[in-house]
Amino acid sequence: MAEITEFNIGQGETFKILTSLENIDTGQVRENFTTDEVAATFTITKLTPQTSGSFYVELTPADTSALTQRKYVYDVKMTSGSITRRVLEGYFVVRPAATR
């Protein structure tokens, strides 16, 4: 079962979390669960040594600037052999920035 978490991020900010799971492959942000359009794709970076199982899941300031103010959905998946599973999922709320 995936960990369900809501994140709040400001437009133009860096979003970066550290997680300790093995074999994280991909993660995406979408406007809703049924749309085919991807609003953003997380960059997944494995930390060394890779045996630690630690990863950064990240969006750059350019990525978050491209998102509009709203509540999105997201998930992050891992694959181990032939098994694929969601490990993080929930809502991703983007707030507008006053300072530009």
pLDDT tens, 12-53?
Answer: 889 888 877 666 778 889 999 899 999 999 998 887 766 667
C-alpha–C-alpha distance, residues 78 and 70, integer Å: 26
| Residue carrying the six token digits 């950064």 | 56
Domain range holding 42?
A: 3-95
CATH code for the domain of 8: 2.60.40.10
Kindly state whether residue 80 falls inside one of the protein's structural domains.
yes
- Total length of the chain: 100
C-alpha–C-alpha distance, residues 20 and 87, integer Å: 11
**Chain segment 2-11, per-residue pLDDT in tens:** 677 888 888 8
Kindly state whether residue 33 falls inside one of the protein's structural domains.
yes
Q: Quick one: pLDDT at residue 37?
A: 94
**Chain segment 66-79, per-residue pLDDT in tens:** 999 999 999 988 88
Whole-angstrom Cα Rg for the chain: 14
When divided into structural domains, the chain yields a total of 1
| Residue carrying the six token digits 């979390």 | 17
Of residues 93 and 87, the one with the higher pLDDT is: 93
Kindly state whether residue 48 falls inside one of the protein's structural domains.
yes
